[in-house]
Amino acid sequence: MSGARSGPWLRRHRLAVDVAIAVAFAVVDTGVTLAGGSWWPDRPDPLAWILLGAQALACASLALRRIAPLTVVAVLGLFTLTVTLLIAPAGVLTPAHEGNVWAPHSTVLAAYGPLFHRRERRTAYLALAAFTLVVMRPWEPSFTVMTIGLLRTAVGPLLALYFDARRRMVRALVERAERAERERHLLAEQARAEERARLAAEMHDVVTHRVSLMVLQAGALRVTAPDEPTRRAAEELRAAGCQALDELRDLVGILRTAPDGDRTPSVTGFPDLVAESRAVGTPTELIESGDPALASPVVGRTAYRVLREALTNVRKHAPGAEVTVRVEYDATRVRLTVHSTPPTAGPDSALTGTGSGLGIAQLRQRIELLHGTLRAGPRPDGGFGVEATLPSYVPTPESAV
């Protein structure tokens, strides 16, 4: 349980974690420098102590490695370059060990940030190339210094490229799994529709056979009956049987209708709904952003039902309210929000007692089947809000055409 909780906690407190890492690196680099593992002289003067404090501050900049990774690289690179110039050619600082790398160990983590936390890679590559030159000091050829310096600035970017590729792969796998789950639900719906059609066909065959026999027998009785009342009753029975066959045929036709025969308008019908709402006296504003073509057919029809139900509820329960409808389309989701202001009059009891049977609860079930969310409730200003978020793409037979 503790391991399961540590991940979310780290994600919620990233800045605190980065500050702790920055402090740890500042302490480690200070200790390594004082131990002679870097540029520290045998006889430190005030300049050396000032540089030691500057190094701690430069290492502390790691706290901003996610927010401003290039700034962190620039700060550590500038510090390393300053120390290098003070040693040679300025000659005002004489390290105890000439063969050390002057850059602090914080450069390893600093070099990781630009390629992992930035999308623009060209600038990151240029900055890391300049950073590597400063750390390696190729103008003072030394195999040990150049090798260690290259490792310090190369390990971070290589790890960043690996983890970034892994992150992209995991995201793609998650999206593929979600799409497969949606397709599984749709295939289950299709299987139920096919089973319903099969049962309808069997019912038609069985019942039609029996009723047809009844009609034929009634017809025969009409012909062979010895008296008029019997012939009249046989004719009525035959006519009732024929009517039953016609009604049965119509009923089976309804049962055989596939669910994708839905004729509900899609997102292109939003302006018509808004115009109807305005025509009956409800001020309504429609704001759309993005490309409506990104919404697949079943998503568009579901969003249309949500908007229709929301506007109907406003007219029934909030007379005089003003409505704002916002629709956002992007590659991954469709977000519909309907906000109404507080009503200026009480609801009409004659209207509130009517309904189509498709309420918010049933809409929520339909949306959850598509792996979306629906929230509806009062707003702090006294109005009412409905917010639906749906995946942009839900595969259906008509979307594959």
- Radius of gyration (C-alpha) of the chain in whole angstroms: 37
Average pLDDT score over residue span 339-355: 68
CA dist 362 → 39, 309, 340 (Å): 71, 11, 21
DSSP at 260: G
Residue 377 has pLDDT above 60, yes or no: yes
Residue 319 has pLDDT above 60, yes or no: yes
Q: In this structure, what token pair is assigned to residue 368?
A: 């959850």
What pLDDT, in 10s, does the model give residues 184-223?
A: 888 887 787 777 776 766 666 566 666 766 777 777 788 8
Nearest to 75 by CA among 62, 92, 87, 66: 62
Nearest to 311 by CA among 366, 268, 356: 356
Domain spans of the chain?
Answer: 2-141, 186-260, 267-391
Please state the three-class secondary structure of 218-240 as a single string. Answer: HHHHHHHCCCHHHHHHHHHHHHH
**Structure confidence at residue 361 (pLDDT):** 77
Q: In this structure, what token pair is assigned to residue 243?
A: 């009517």
Instruction: Please measure the distance between the N-terminal and C-terminal CA atoms of the chain and give it in whole angstroms.
Output: 48
| Cα angle for residues 109, 114, 118 (degrees, 5° grid) | 140
**Structure confidence at residue 208 (pLDDT):** 64
Taking residue 130's Cβ as centre, other Cβ atoms within 10 Å add up to 14
Residue 352 has pLDDT above 70, yes or no: no
Q: In this structure, what token pair is assigned to residue 94?
A: 């004489």
What pLDDT, in 10s, does the model give residues 62-106?
A: 999 999 999 999 999 999 999 999 998 888 999 998 889 999 999
**Structure confidence at residue 92 (pLDDT):** 92
Which residues neighbour 237 within 8 Å (Cβ) at sequence distance 6 or greater? Answer: 214, 218, 221
Q: In this structure, what token pair is assigned to residue 29?
A: 């680099």
What pLDDT band is residue 401 in, cutting at 50, 70 and 90? Answer: very low
Q: CA–CA separation, 294 vs 297, rounded Å? A: 10
Class of domain 267-391: alpha beta
Residue 255 has pLDDT above 90, yes or no: no
What pLDDT, in 10s, does the model give residues 102-137?
A: 999 999 999 999 988 877 888 999 999 999 999 999
What pLDDT, in 10s, does the model give residues 336-346?
A: 999 999 988 77
Residue 27 has pLDDT above 80, yes or no: yes
